[in-house]
Amino acid sequence: MALLLLALNGMIEKLKHFLKSYWIFVLLSLLVVFVVNLAVSKPKITLPKIDQSQLLKHPSLVSAPLEKGEIEFVSAINDKPQAPEKLPVYLARPKASYDYSILIRQKQNETPISSVGEAENLARAFLLKNNRLTDELSNSDYKVNFMKTGGFETFQVNNFEDADILSIEFYPKVNNYLIVGNTPFSSLMEVLLNKKGIIKKVSDATANYDQSEARTLPIVSFEKAWQMLTEQKGIITALSVQETTYNPQPARVQQVIVNTASLAYFQEQNLPASLQPIWVFTGDTVIDGATYSKVAIYLPAIEEDYFVKE
């Protein structure tokens, strides 16, 4: 018994000596064991599965006639937009056909206009009077083009004084974001009037925007959108030199200087379709090494996981 106690005391002394000399290593070993056990025992977080029936179709983007090849995108953007984390997606339905020519043929009171502002107010008042000023249009942005007639042609001029006809382009909005079609250079609603204040023509490509069953989905940040653009994932939808050219030939674009970036809602040509957020980049390029052109690029703004895999 005495020998057993003596051996036990010897072991205790050796253990004390070991701990005194190597306590830091013992402590680290215990800490590692604790962390490993914690990691193993911690329940794994599983992300919620996306309902496949709720996935979106990719927007039907119409590409400008381009020769295939990679394009260098150079940023000249002064104000980088901040995107919200999520935005709602709506359904755009076709409007019932409407014949504006019936209203135009009715006797209109001449209201001579002397400024761009008066022209815009008159065009907006015409739409309001005839119950065509929707919620999306009442809060719209607008742009004025100056036109002049000569013989059988109508061509663009630079100022109000030289113009015979004014083109008022309205850009409807939803959630304070513009609604764009195949090109951001052309609006979805245009009113033509002369300086006598007579409405000559109305072109309406707007839709019925059903907001009753909106779905809110995650949005791609500007930084991620720019990265995707440089990876050739955007679609060049418009070149300004081709908008007035009949049957344009494919153009070669090697570099685009991007000046602006913004979020908008994209309305497809073929409806019904999702009215979904989209990144719109605009800038300048030189086509085939000689011709200057403004350029527009679209990039879907919904996170890729929420699209049907094609």
What percentage of the chain reaches a pLDDT higher than 90? 65
* One domain, residues 144 and 167: yes
pLDDT at residue 62 is higher than 60: yes
Q: What is the mean pLDDT of residues 219-243?
A: 94
* One domain, residues 130 and 176: yes
- Confidence band for 22, pLDDT divided at 50, 70 and 90: low
Range name among 24-28, 59-63, 114-118, 194-198 with the lowest pLDDT average: 24-28
Give the range of the structural domain holding residue 270, as residue numbers without chain letter. 59-90+212-306
* One domain, residues 9 and 64: no
pLDDT tens digits, 142-179 = 999 999 988 778 888 999 999 999 999 999 999 999 99
* One domain, residues 202 and 228: no
Q: Looking up tokens 């929420």, which residue turns up?
A: 306
Q: What is the mean pLDDT of residues 104-124?
A: 92
* One domain, residues 183 and 138: yes
pLDDT at residue 48 is higher than 60: no
Residue 171 lies in a domain: yes
* One domain, residues 20 and 68: no
pLDDT at residue 79 is higher than 50: yes
* One domain, residues 221 and 74: yes
Q: Which amino acid is at 60?
A: S
pLDDT at residue 46 is higher than 60: no
